[in-house]
Amino acid sequence: MIKTTPFWTEETPRPADLHTVELPDAVDVAVIGSGYTGLHAALALRAAGATVAVLEQETIGWGASSRNGGMATTGLKEDMSVVFKRYGSDKGRQFWAWALASIDYLEHTVRTEGINCNFQRSGHVTLACKQSHFDHFAEEVAWFRSALDYQDTWVVSKNDLRTEIGTNEYFGGLVDRNSAAVQPARYVFGLAEAAARRGAHLVEHAQVTGMMRRRGRFFLGTTRGKLEAREVLLATNGYTTNLVPAARQGIFPVGSYIIVTAPLPEALQLELSPRSRMFFDSKNFLNYFRITPDGRMLFGGRHNLSTGLDLMDSARMMQARMIEVFPQLSGTPLTHTWTGKLGICFDLMPHLGRVGGVHYAYGYAGHGVSVAGYLGKEAGEMLAGKRTSSLLSEITHPRYPFTPYDRIYLPIVSNWYRFKDAIG
């Protein structure tokens, strides 16, 4: 029987002694959402001496931050070459450095806070699904060297690919040594413990249902009572609702789905992933996969952008794809499948901003394991008056004042991606 709850939180449940509290009457800053964004913001606010409440509608870390693949990969969702064209080469270089710094910051946080989340600088490999994709890899390496002076990425030919991965399915790979791996639930629970230790009020089962602003102060209604705050930070990413309609108009949710196998014999783990890399392929509807710290294959992706796919149908499709990639896994049972929501902005960039007086930080588009915490920290520093801007608050943020994304926008984009994958 396959469980339909995240493997990560079964392996490491929310700590029973995590210090959560009743809703306070008033704080300097109310943070809505208790994932990487909200908790890093809370840490930065506490470091500056501000009082802060982290309000979570479910339990701490319940959203994407405890459900993801745990792959902290370099760069942003948008291609760096597009970022260069859109914002210019100076800003492009700054965005690249910022994204790399977010992985260093993740490493720094887990070391200084003593968070045991299996952090490892594993590196990642992008796998070419077509010869044309592989041909593009060499150009990409050359571009990274000349435009970014970045030497830590290289091409692996099909003939040599077995040194990286135990399959003949791909046309070659592109390695980047700076990406990292974590056990995501351990990471988010460790952050929550650090935030509680530093005096942040963590309030669970406190869904924010409404808010109003009067004489420069916010009054929030929650399912656990009322709270007054000087400032509000929306840290809800893929779970953003119409609570602040203008914020919702700048982001849309996309479902991501994961399956996990039973633990594999050590020799098979080594055959499938000799260097413990993080993997993803070169399609638009990509698959991402890795070996978990306890030796299972975790395989993720989506065949549609919708958040409402049938979990077991989706698990069957992913298992079929996993066996195409790794025929060695054809007899291995699945133990878990689950889903969660990513948040994607229309320009594929993260954004930090303010609408109607409410601050927000979101839009990581599948790069949030490193980027969400870094942007959350910057948001916290801005709210605490420790910085005046961030690279991600300085760019235009496209918004669309319609909300039936699931029914209209996403099917169109899904078909476009499918078409590109078919011809590309």
Ligand X SMILES: Cc1cc2nc3c(=O)[nH]c(=O)nc-3n(C[C@H](O)[C@H](O)[C@H](O)COP(=O)(O)OP(=O)(O)OC[C@H]3O[C@@H](n4cnc5c(N)ncnc54)[C@H](O)[C@@H]3O)c2cc1C
What are the residues binding ligand X (CB under 6 A)? 32-38, 55-58, 62-65, 67-72, 207-208, 235-239, 241, 243, 256, 258, 288, 300, 340-342, 362, 364, 366-369, 372
Instruction: Report the residue number, 171 or 343, with the smaller CB distance to ligand X.
Output: 343
Contact between 48 and 387 (Cβ < 8 Å): no
278-281 and 252-261 strand pairing: unpaired
Structure tokens at 57: 């509608």
Work out how close the CB of 105 gets to ligand X at its nearest, in angstroms, rounded to a whole number: 13
Q: Is 211 exposed, middle or buried (0-12, 13-18, 19+ CB in 10 A)?
A: buried
- Rounded least distance, CB 55 to ligand X, Å: 5
Q: Residue 33 CB, nearest distance to ligand X (Å)? A: 3
Please identify, using beta-carbon distances, which residue of 68 and 178 lies nearer to ligand X: 68
CB within 8 Å of 316: residues ≥ 6 apart: none
Nearer to ligand X, 172 or 350 (CB): 350
Cα separation, 340 vs 366, in Å, equals 11
Shortest spacing between CB 54 and ligand X, in angstroms: 9
Q: Indicate the residue among 87 and 362 with the shorter CB distance to ligand X.
A: 362
Radius of gyration of the chain (CA): 21
Rounded Cα distance between 49 and 41, Å, is 12
* 227 or 243: CB nearest ligand X: 243
Beta strands in 165-301 (DSSP E): 172-176, 180-181, 201-203, 208-214, 217-222, 225-234, 252-261, 278-281, 288-291, 297-301
CB of 232 to ligand X, least distance (A): 11
Structure tokens at 323: 């066996």
Shortest separation between residue 134's beta carbon and ligand X, angstroms: 23
Q: Which residues pair with 163 in a beta bridge?
A: none
Least CB distance to ligand X at residue 70 (A) = 6
In angstroms, what is the minimal distance from the CB of 407 to ligand X? 21
* DSSP-assigned letter for residue 8: H
175 vs 369, beta carbon nearer ligand X? 369
For ligand X, give the closer residue by CB, 171 or 305.
305
Q: Is 353 helix (H, G, I), strand (E, B) or coil?
A: strand
Structure tokens belonging to residue 326: 């790794």
Residue number with the smallest Cβ distance to ligand X: 368
Give the nearer residue to ligand X in terms of CB position, either 344 or 384: 344
Q: Which of 8, 336, 377 is nearest to 181 (CA)?
A: 8
